[in-house]
Structure 1
Amino acid sequence: IKAIFVREGDFVTAGQVVAQMDTDVLQAQIREAEARLRQAEVDIAVARSRLKQRESEKTAAEALVAQRQAELTAARKRSMRTTALVTEGAASQQEADDDRARMQSYQAAVSAARAQVAASEAAIVTARSEVLGAQSAAEGARATIEKIQADLTDSDLKAPRDGRVQYLVAQPGEVVGAGGRVLNMVDLSDVYMTFFLPTLQAGRLAMGSEVRLVLDAAPQYVIPAHVSYLADVAQFTPKTVETASEREKLMFRVKAQIPADLLRKYIVHVKTGLPGIAYVRVNQQLPWPAHLQLQKLP
């Protein structure tokens, strides 16, 4: 942990940076990844240049094949004419042999040119593989950079919602493992009071029923709430109670939830753990007594 920016009891808002982790190692890693990316981009440029060179060599080799093929065609025709003239006695045998040798030379030249084309095609395949390899290296470096940048973003610990810092779990300079806790926050948008009712009263209560809360710390204010939870089993009682009189003594846990809009309005004043009294009406037709009537809060 590099720094903690809040203290116990501070109110924080959603998105507020509450602590920062040390990022020296991550900064070194991202510099290394950026260097790999730059090298990969250079390799891509070199590989593409080499590919263009190989493609040019292939084009030149194909042109040479065409040239040698034309020369071979001309030499073949000349050899055929000379052979015919030898038969007629219009040319010497030496001339026919020379033309035949020249034709064979051009045949060899055509074969050599075609071999050069094949070599150029193989070189192009290799050059394309080099381009793909360099591009893959660049993509890998970019992915590494994105991952490290995400880790750097996560190194700033932000409050997930509005709330109050209850206590610090760790201190600056301490090492926290993955998933470790740095501080404890209380979600002030989800505040309720837990109380207990006997069997008879709990059975008459419905989910969503109105509740009035009076806190010991502020007895002059009546806080509206509603029933958000009714336990389906008795609390702190034997699992099996045989007699009706004993069953009437069972206590059921109830939660009275304070409206979220009211909490948002007074959120900086909201505290947890305060004791108080919860009032419910088992008969919803009866009005609230005067001292539990809602008044405008300051």
Structure 2
Amino acid sequence: MKSIRSVWIFLLLAALLGGGAYSLWQARQSDLPEGFSRANGRIEAERIDISLKFGGRIAEILVDEGDMVTAGDVIARVDSTELEAQIRAAEAATRQAEQEYEQAVALVAQREGELDYAEAELKRAETLAESGHGTAERVDQRRSQHITAKAALNTARAQIAATQAAIEAAQAHVAALKANLADYTLIAPRSGRVQYRLAQPGEILAAGGKVISLLDLMDVYMDVYLPTDEAGRLRYGAEARIILDAAPQYVIPAHVDFVASEAQFTPKYVETASEREKLTFRVKLQIAPEILENYQDVVKTGVPGVAVVRVDPEAEWPEALAVKLP
């Protein structure tokens, strides 16, 4: 009985505290002037899932849930032993191609010497034949040798082009493997807070497997749903105010960052069943990064609240909705 009584006391206190916050909000908003629209929503932050580009075994994860990270921080590594072996093999293939190129260059020099000798022998045979000291058969032999030497030189020069292409292909292969190696180290693309660790060291994930879920606490917003007549008058950049249920004494400035192009029924978690039957437009209210910069340690997603949007740009903000930050 004593424990049941304690539970009832706790529930009563919670109801009183919640009612007090709600009463404070109602006192502020009971006389919302023309040109403003009010809606419910929840605080959200841009979520980035950091995944593997290539499948592999997780070697280590350097962050825990709740940790703050800075863009560029190493947050995890994938076992790259096999890939590093492939890089060494590709580098060896590059060195082999370079040696073959040097051999091809030396062969061209040899073939050029042979061609010069064949040309000289052909001229000598022709001169001797013209003076009657040589035979036509000898001239034909030297001419055949000259043709053979010239063909051998062309083949050697083609071999140089082939080895050059082989070097470029081997170097490109090494560069591609090293680029892939860089992707085996997972880097935080933005600063933020680690929301979830979705894998553990030793796990083998396929390509695209998620490792870390990160929240960008400089990209915080609230989605609200406004009736068609109010959303139709809304301008991008219009001012808004957000009051969170958990801290109704503060008024957070925001602005309209996005208005959906198509109407939809209000989601069930936003309003009552009767309100959900109405067509509304989703409106994204963005909080300025310069404001969030000072509150990254306290920003939490999923916190419900109420937003007031200035539909009429000429309307004056009531004193109860003046910006008030912690």
TM-score, normalised to structure 2's length? Answer: 0.71
- Cα deviation for residue 2 of structure 1 reads 1.1
Identical positions, percent: 46
- Cα deviation for residue 197 of structure 1 reads 4.4
| 1:6 pairs with 2:6 | no
Partners of 1:14 and 1:235 in 2: CA distance:
38
Confirm or deny: 8 A CA contact 2:83 2:181 kept in the other structure: yes
Cα 1:190/1:122, change in 2 over 3 Å: same
Structure-2 residue corresponding to 1:271? 300
Partners of 1:292 and 1:207 in 2: CA distance:
20
SS of equivalent to 1:182? strand
Residue of 221, 224, 235 corresponding to 2:250:
221
Partners of 1:114 and 1:202 in 2: CA distance:
92
Residue of 137, 154, 165 corresponding to 1:108:
137
- Cα deviation for residue 44 of structure 1 reads 0.7
Structure-2 residue corresponding to 1:19? 76
Cα 1:290/1:122, change in 2 over 3 Å: same
Matched to 2:79, the amino acid is: D
Residue of 167, 181, 190 corresponding to 2:219:
190
Partners of 1:157 and 1:132 in 2: CA distance:
40
Structure-1 residue corresponding to 2:278? 250
Matched to 2:168, the amino acid is: E
Confirm or deny: 8 A CA contact 1:166 1:184 kept in the other structure: yes
SS of equivalent to 2:240? strand
Partners of 1:72 and 1:284 in 2: CA distance:
107
Higher RCO, Cα 8 Å, sep 6+? 2
| 1:294 pairs with 2:323 | yes
Partners of 1:227 and 1:114 in 2: CA distance:
88
Structure-2 residue corresponding to 1:44? 101
Residue of 245, 262, 265 corresponding to 1:235:
265
Structure-1 residue corresponding to 2:47? none
* Larger helix fraction of residues: 1
| 1:166 pairs with 2:195 | yes
- Cα deviation for residue 26 of structure 1 reads 0.7
Partners of 2:151 and 2:279 in 1: CA distance:
86
Residue of 152, 156, 159 corresponding to 1:123:
152
Q: Where does the alignment leave 5 or more consecutive residues of structure 1 unmatched?
A: 76-101, 238-245
Confirm or deny: 8 A CA contact 1:199 1:250 kept in the other structure: no
- Cα deviation for residue 28 of structure 1 reads 0.3
Residue of 105, 123, 134 corresponding to 1:66:
123
Structure-2 residue corresponding to 1:55? 112
Cα 1:279/1:31, change in 2 over 3 Å: same
Cα 1:115/1:290, change in 2 over 3 Å: same
Confirm or deny: 8 A CA contact 1:198 1:249 kept in the other structure: no
Q: How many residues align?
A: 262
When the two chains are superposed, the root-mean-square deviation of aligned CA atoms in Å is 2.8
Cα 1:39/1:103, change in 2 over 3 Å: closer
Confirm or deny: 8 A CA contact 1:199 1:249 kept in the other structure: no
- Cα deviation for residue 162 of structure 1 reads 2.0
Cα 1:257/1:268, change in 2 over 3 Å: same
Cα 1:291/1:52, change in 2 over 3 Å: same
Matched to 1:56, the amino acid is: G
Q: Where does the alignment leave 5 or more consecutive residues of structure 2 unmatched?
A: 1-57, 268-273
* Larger strand fraction of residues: 2
- Cα deviation for residue 128 of structure 1 reads 2.0
Higher Cα Rg, which structure = 1
SS of equivalent to 1:6? coil
Structure-2 residue corresponding to 1:32? 89
- Cα deviation for residue 226 of structure 1 reads 1.6
